[in-house]
Copies of this chain bind each other. A is one copy, B any other.
Amino acid sequence: MKIIEGGVTAPKGFMAASVAAGIKYENREDMAMIYSEAPCTSYGVYTKNIVKAAPVVFDKKVTDSDNSVRAVVVNAGIANACTGKKGMEYCEMEALAVAESLMLSPKSILLCSTGVIGKQLPMDKIVAGIKKMSHNLHEGTEAGTKASKAIMTTDTVNKEVAVSFEIDGHTVTMGGMSKGSGMIHPDMCTMLGFVTTDCAISKEMLKKALTTDVEDTFNMISVDGDTSTNDSLIVLANATAGNPIIDSEGENFNKFLEALHYINETLAKKMAADGEGATALLEVKVFNALTKEQAKILAKSVACSSLVKTAVYGHDANWGRIMCALGYSGADFKPEDVTIHYESEFGKILVCEKGSDVDFSEEDATKILSSEAVTFLIDLNMGSAEATAWGCDLTHEYVSINADYRS
């Protein structure tokens, strides 16, 4: 597997467009379109929040069916969540507008929205944006990057990644983009994520790959513990790479899974690092647990603790808060067997051994915690399972952003 330039337009046959539709933001693009020249096998995982945005309900119907997908349209600024029947009608209207502009079946269209909850979409602006983008689709890195910027809300950086790998002498490419910075605590997957590939793969195997991998990647990040109404991660595979179709487990499926895992983990970590107001990516690795499930619960509990997150912000080696968050996680373990190290590019330091304090240099610990990427290594000394969760620090800026987001 090779890491390459680009994002959703890296695989063969995918084009993208973006436009400043004036939905909420000024002086920037706020709508994006992904288009595939060939019909795509698709699968999507969506928020488990009972309050589901209209486009989530709309898309799930499509990606659960055998319909081919040809285009995805995304808008930033308004989430089309808590919008009742009108919100669903607007989805139908939007899909019709895309279908007409691109001469496709309305059943081959996916829609995503992100932004404020409880407001209706300005359909005149949405439809005008769709028409403009339909005439402005482009191949290549630049179009993909512009699309990844157009879907941002409070994100401070755009997020994309691409890889290529070989299957039976055919080069297969996979690319992805995502957005998300607040209300990030994915349950099935995250805010908005898109993965494209020219790989030929059956729907069944695509579903298997996505649902398995998302549990170790997007579902292991948290910015603020709030599971959004709009979480969607969609994979489109247009089968133009020429590889023999992947329709069962085996070596080729594993190659596909390796690539998908790299794309998902990279986008998930980018999202955690760009958490609203964050100054540091927090990586929590739990080792030597009895089961993977237990390791995941413990790692997430630490990554989600407000007190752990503020201590990281303050570069304060307050390891007692890590023990506390492990303790209330709901997973069973022996506090008196736990060992904790902090690690970053500035070094590694032991701060807790057998559940109690050890002598360590506060100065060294503060230095290690002042990195932009801090790792906690938590050894349970029980079994051999492990898991990693990602989060970020909790800062003054997070409060500033969210005390005044809507207005």
* Interface residues of A, Cβ cutoff 8 Å to B: 47-52, 79, 81-84, 86, 116-120, 182-183, 185, 187, 224-229, 304-307, 310-311, 313-314, 316-321, 323-328, 332-333, 335-336, 352, 354-357, 362, 394-396, 398-407
Q: Check B226 against A324 for contact (C-beta < 8 Å).
A: yes
CA distance A48 to B314 in the complex (A): 28
How distant is the Cα of A400 from the Cα of B407 in the complex, in angstroms?
A: 25
Contact of A356 among B52, B118, B396 (CB under 8 A): B118
Chain B residue at smallest Cβ distance from A86: B356
Complex alpha-carbon distance, A82 and B304, angstroms: 21
- Distance, CA A306 to CA B83, complexed state (A): 23
Do A405 and B316 have beta carbons less than 8 Å apart? yes
B contact residues around A327 at 8 Å (CB): 49-52, 227, 229
Whether B357 lies near A83 (C-beta < 8 A) is: yes
Complex Cα gap A141–B346 (Å): 54
B82 touches A307 (CB 8 A): no
B118 near A316 with CB under 8 A, answer no
Contact present for B407 and A352 (CB under 8 Å): no
Q: What's the Cα separation between A405 and B313 when bound, in Å?
A: 12
Partner of A310, one of B227, B229, B399: B399
What is the total number of copies of this protein in its complex? 2
Instruction: Point out the residue from B47, B325, B402 that lies within 8 Å of A314, measured CB to CB.
Output: B402
Chain B proximity of A190: nearest CB distance (Å)? 13
Cβ distance A56 to chain B, nearest Cβ, rounded Å? 11
B residues in contact with A224, CB < 8 Å: 306-307
Q: A325 contacts which chain B residues (CB < 8 A)? A: 226
Q: Contact between A318 and B405 (Cβ–Cβ < 8 Å)?
A: yes
Closest partner residue, chain B, to A332 (CB atom)? B50
Establish whether residues A313 and B83, one from each chain, have CB atoms under 8 Å apart when the complex forms: no
Q: Check if A328 sits within 8 Å of B187, measured CB to CB.
A: yes
Q: How far is the CB of A343 from chain B (nearest CB, A)?
A: 19
Report the bound CA distance from A72 to B84 in whole Å. 57
Chain B residues with Cβ below 8 Å from A401 are: 310
Q: A82-B356, A117-B323, A226-B321 are in contact. Are A328 and B406 (CB under 8 A)?
A: no
Q: A82 and B357: CB pair below 8 A? A: yes
A356-B84, A399-B395 are contacts. A324–B225 as well, Cβ < 8 Å?
no
Q: Which residues of B contact A332 (CB under 8 A)?
A: 50
Q: Which residue of B lies closest to A115 (CB)?
A: B320
Q: What are the residues of chain B within 8 A of A187 when measuring CB–CB?
A: 328
